[in-house]
Amino acid sequence: MATADIYLAFADREASGVSPAYERLSRAVARDPELLALLDSLPPAKRQPNLLFGVVRLGGGPVDDPAAFRAYVSARWPEIAAQMRVRATQTNEAGRCAALLPVLAALPQPLALLEVGASAGLCLYPDRYAYRYGDRLVGDGEPVLDCALTGVAPPVRRPEVVWRAGLDVNPLDVTDPADLAWLDALIWPEHRHRRERLRAAAAVAGTDPPLLLRGDLVDDLPALAATAPADATLVVFHSSVLYQVPPARRAAFTALVRTLPGHWLANEDPAVLPHADLPEPPAGGFHNVLALDGRPLAWTRGHGQAATWIA
């Protein structure tokens, strides 16, 4: 895909209706030959809007005004390019637990959770957050994760998690201020509630840090899965990860994960993890598909703010 098209697709599919600032910026980049040429000097995987915008925000640059953004990026391109080469989009969104919860709570308890592409591991604590599904509150404490659930009853209780572990090519540490600053920079500008949620979830994880290993979701998964307790239901799960994995490795992962005991829970863009006979997604922007053991169950919004069960 040409870089201009990547920025237009991001504006249309992801930012539209969710982040006016990023929608404006991505449309401006898409029609700016000079910025596109700078981006094209990077490897294809490093040209994404979220990475560019996150690096600019991390450096304190402007993201509200496309002209000021353009001037900032043009003046500091060598530093920005260097950051984009070494960083990756590792947005860690605890809110996604709200979309996973109806499935996790319905599995045989207790659970052993193994997340691939865990980033800082904030999605490994579905048993510690509180949830609001319309009028139904599940659990207590902070953060409270709001989710508009359609077509399924909200869970009555949180799952029981007796083991949790994560695998990531570049695990982040929520107790490290520099890692937390990067996670914060990756949150879209208008999303103050997500920033608050990050702090609250990081506080939960920080008091009982997860086992997070540096490794690849194919090469290192079997060894980590083998350490899960045998008397708990193993759930290998992932959310918004496979778009970062080349197609051949995705195929290797999906073949491997089916051979493991327990269950496989995927929350991914259907363009990268396709399913046969999917109905039309609900209106209102980009949706992932939540699938258990390869069977699609629900359409989910990107940050867990809504989940619509497939009839």
Ligand X SMILES: C[S@@+](CC[C@H](N)C(=O)[O-])C[C@H]1O[C@@H](n2cnc3c(N)ncnc32)[C@H](O)[C@@H]1O
| Residues in contact with ligand X by the rule CB under 6 A | 88-93, 96, 116-119, 123, 167-170, 216-217, 238-241, 244-245
Closer Cβ to ligand X, 31 or 214, answer by number: 214
Closer Cβ to ligand X, 28 or 244, answer by number: 244
CB of 5 to ligand X, least distance (A): 21
CB of 280 to ligand X, least distance (A): 24
Closer Cβ to ligand X, 158 or 303, answer by number: 303
Closer Cβ to ligand X, 30 or 100, answer by number: 100
CB of 207 to ligand X, least distance (A): 19
Task: Name the residue among 94, 261, 122, 100 with its Cα closest to residue 194.
Answer: 94
Residue type, 61: G
CB of 70 to ligand X, least distance (A): 26
DSSP summary character for residue 95: G
Compute the CA torsion angle 11, 15, 19, 24 (nearest 10 deg): 0
CB of 29 to ligand X, least distance (A): 20
Closer Cβ to ligand X, 77 or 285, answer by number: 285
Distance CA 214, CA 102 (A): 29
How many other C-beta atoms lie within 10 A of the C-beta of residue 88? 20
Distance CA 20, CA 184 (A): 18
CB-based burial label for 70 (10 Å; 0-12, 13-18, 19+) = middle
Give the total residue count for the chain: 311
The Cα-based distances of 76 to 21, 243, 274, 307 in angstroms read 21, 28, 39, 41
Partnered with residue 112 across adjacent β-strands are 163, 234
Which residue minimizes CB distance to ligand X? 117
Closer Cβ to ligand X, 3 or 239, answer by number: 239
Residues 242-262 as b or e (16 or more Cβ within 10 Å = b): bebbeeeebebbeebbeebeb
CB of 219 to ligand X, least distance (A): 8
Alpha helices of the chain — where are they, by DSSP H? 3-9, 20-30, 33-40, 49-58, 66-75, 77-86, 97-106, 177-185, 192-207, 221-225, 247-257
CB of 50 to ligand X, least distance (A): 8
Closer Cβ to ligand X, 83 or 90, answer by number: 90
